[in-house]
């Protein structure tokens, strides 16, 4: 969708660059990582969760089992975290620090479904073909007029620079 589709602005909106998006994602990913580890340790301590020993190169490894469990929590928790924050406040804590927000093409905050869809496609980054999907997102950020990654294109959203809104 082109910048002309923005009926709520007379000029094209200031979109977020890849670097600021990456900083926001790194901050949010750190939060999700810490939450996933905390949940894993609380559940394991309460006896609700057993950390499996996983065979790694012929050796039994509880550390590999721990990483496997944390990864499972991290994937689901990440999807919920990004979806709910963006649907409710149009930004995550990382986006808030970086001065970014998610918007629909009409400027409103995304719906729960739109937020879910844009973040669901990010889960492709943790598949065996992650290099391809990250490259596609990088390509779309560089080639779309509004600096949209594949999830933004699918959901009809864009990440905006909130600092430019104040100018």
Pairing mode of beta strands 59-61, 157-161: unpaired
pLDDT tens-digit series, residues 50-92? 988 888 888 898 888 899 999 999 999 999 999 999 999 999 9
**CB contact set of 122 (below 8 Å; sequence gap of 6+):** 78, 79, 82, 151
Least confident of 3-7, 11-15, 32-36, 102-106: 3-7
pLDDT tens-digit series, residues 29-38? 999 999 999 9
pLDDT tens-digit series, residues 16-26? 888 999 999 99
The tokens of 116 are what?
């879910």
What is the predicted pLDDT for the residue at 14? Answer: 86
Calculate the average pLDDT of the chain. Answer: 89
**For 132-155, what is the mean pLDDT?**
91
């Amino acid at each position: 969708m082109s910048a002309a589709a923005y009926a709520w602005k007379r000029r094209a909106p200031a979109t977020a660059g890849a670097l600021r998006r990456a900083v926001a994602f790194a901050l949010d990913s750190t939060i999700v990582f810490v939450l996933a580890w905390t949940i894993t340790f609380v559940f394991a301590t309460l006896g609700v969760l057993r950390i499996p020993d996983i065979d790694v190169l012929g050796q039994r490894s509880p550390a590999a089992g721990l990483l496997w469990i944390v990864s499972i929590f991290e994937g689901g928790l990440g999807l919920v975290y990004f979806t709910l924050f963006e649907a409710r406040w149009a930004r995550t804590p990382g986006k808030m620090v970086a001065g970014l927000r998610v918007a629909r093409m009409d400027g409103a905050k995304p719906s729960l479904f739109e937020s879910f869809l844009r973040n669901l496609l990010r889960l492709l980054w943790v598949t065996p073909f992650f290099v391809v999907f990250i490259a596609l997102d990088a390509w779309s950020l560089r080639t779309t007029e509004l600096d949209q990654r594949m999830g933004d294109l699918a959901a009809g959203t864009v990440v905006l620079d909130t600092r430019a809104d104040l100018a």
